[in-house]
Structure 1
Amino acid sequence: MSEKKYYSRSPEEWKKIDEEKRRAYLQRSQQLRRRAYTFLLINLFVVVVIILGYFIFKSFPRPQQSYIAFSGSLSFQLIMGKSEDYYPDEAIDVKIKAINDSKKTVALKIKGFSMKIFSETNDIVYKFNYNGTVEKNIESYQSVLIFSLKHERELKLSPGTYRIDTEIILDKKNIRLQRTFNVKEDIFISLSSKDDFFFPGEDSIISIYFTNHSLYNGVLQLNSMKFSIDSKFLDIPMEKKIFSISEGERVKIIDIKFKAPKEKGAHPVKVETTFLMGKEIRNFSAQKNIVVASKDDLSSLKNLRIITDSVIVTPIGSEIKFKVFLANDSSKDKFLILNRFFLQISKASVDFYKYDISQSFKLMVPAYSKRMIFDTESWQKLIFNEEGKYNVEIVVYTNKGVIKHNYQILVH
């Protein structure tokens, strides 16, 4: 009998191939199961670590600072109005706040409060005591003001280091807060100009101001002055001048007239002065960079906008303070001439506050930055004694056109 011939593979060969495929499939399946199992173990390990870390973190004591204390879910803070030192002519600003750090409303009950401020020699320079009971519910993640020194008294202090001791008497615990601060004297001169930049070679003015953050009250006499641009001294006519100055006062000493450099860019300006203060001779110096730009550098209004730091909701009877800025959203400095500034606050077509000034000066807004152009504190107090929506309209007139900004303030 002749031998059978197969045109592909024999049954034995196909069986062998199927066995190899089956073994490869089982091996691959086992590898995938081991990988999935390993991945599951890793995930479970990470979850366990996170849960353990959470409970371990909660078990650690909260960080302690002498001006922060805790009672349950409430934290109590002694807050200074300034992060830096105070001057003798500045009123000390101290606030005590209670903050609810929980998701639920917390009842606060204060049975007494006291504050003392001590000098370096441990003398009491200020004290306040309240022995009554105050109760207040504090909403979740909200705070209440317990005490404000500025509301009680305008306290100004002589130079030195001072310590604040505060005690808050609660139902089950007394909270003690403590903080130190410094009061220091500082007397200096500064340079200021109306314009942010100058055209090449134009007649320009820089003013020298004398600031007295000290206890000195008396006569101030300018004896000598040197003025330089790019380290080259200029011949500036000067007469000896006598001024009266008080603590906390800032006075203009002199206007320096000069021609701006012809080269564009930043140029260092420096002034050196000698003053007679009472019987003491004092030397002061100041410096700044002035910028020279040509008329070809005057910019378009593209990427410029008006912004403010104003609140948009406020309680009735409150005072509002805000600043107005020009913001530059482009990658290049913007050079403009501001010709007029207009601000109007109205309600139901009735004007409550209006400020309109036409005054030309050169303005530079750095790239990706902002430049303040108005501050309500330098104008007047803005107090709203009627409920409702107030419309705020701001218009800036420049050599390249007009920029506008409108928004509303809700008084309730």
Structure 2
Amino acid sequence: MTETLHRAGTLPVNDADPFAPEHLETPEPLHAALRDAGPVVYLARYDVYALARYEQVHAALVNWQDFQSGAGVGLSNFRYEKPWRPPSLLLEADPPRHDAPRRVLAAILGPRALRRLRQTWFAEAEALVERVLGERELDGVPALAEAFPLRVFPDAVGLQREGRQNLLPYGNFAFNAFGPANSLVTDAAPHVPEWAAWVDAQCARDRLGPDGFGGRIWAAADRGELTHEQAPLVVRSLLTAGVDTTVHGLAAVLHAFATHPGQWQRVRDNPAAARVAFDEAVRWASPVQTFFRTATTDTLVGGTTIPEGRKILMFLAAANRDPRRWERPDTFDLGRDPSGHVGFGMGLHQCVGQHVARLEAEALLTALARRVRRLELTGEPVRQHNNTLRALRSLPLRLHPA
């Protein structure tokens, strides 16, 4: 940690690169250093202001008036730089532009939709667990964390089966693009036109089943709740953020249980704990690590003035392990109430699909708890680096049948 005098006064300055491989691999030491340094830290490498403590991260997330998303939730500032694709109407927009898409999608992904999906998803989870129990050892990422969302969520959206393999690399690139143009971005760039063309094509009305989430978005446009120009962008938001984040959340909770067998027994004893388990895993591992916002006016945060037009980098993962907010924050513990975590964001831009992700996790964990006595790591997990996401590429497991 390097501390110097900032030009606007005494302010901790950190010259580390949070997007460097060593910090993407093991982010916790940097997060702790940022939290300990103060409520606001200046990141010299990128000329941005970092917030890593829970109090300031939470406050910034809910303060959309002073910290806008419409200038981009990545390092790039849309006031001056053209985005690589049309901005998201959910993630990269503010009221009033954000209001109608959010309202439509919140209704489509609401409790009625989840009740309709519950029985089907629980049955799909049982069938998947039945299949994988035949394998002595497996990789929990492709076999479980990827396989389940890639089956049930695109079905719910109304996607055709062909081409679904494009969803994960497209989403992975979208989240990488929120960071700097490092090798994670440039190495994937040649493939982006192909992935993006496929995703964009799936957002058209004639490619979507009428009864799925996508068809209902188009129906909302027919009713005048959205424009027909907005409808495909709202579908695209579902396809961008609805798969990768859930995959990495499921991988995180499987990793947590493989390394905390006593907590797995708690779920086996009380399957209703599966929903709390997923939220605790999201707090503990923070599949979404960071987001940027842009100051709309000079804004005071923790005694520091963030100048108008400047970027802040909110470390959601650091906030989710802030000892000022959580007891034993580095411990995965189903005895705690994790409901205040910021892993799904907070406020107006809080993840609109979070309850869908929770239902997917509940279905898979409930099926596993019925049939699996213990999840055992059989090798070292392998990280997949991403500028925004905390991901696992591989999770070697042995499932011990009950």
Scaled to the shorter chain, the TM-score interval is under 0.3
Q: Which has the higher contact order (CA 8 A, sep 6+)?
A: 2
Calculate the TM-score normalised by the size of structure 1.
0.16
Q: Which has the higher strand share?
A: 1
Calculate the TM-score normalised by the size of structure 2.
0.17
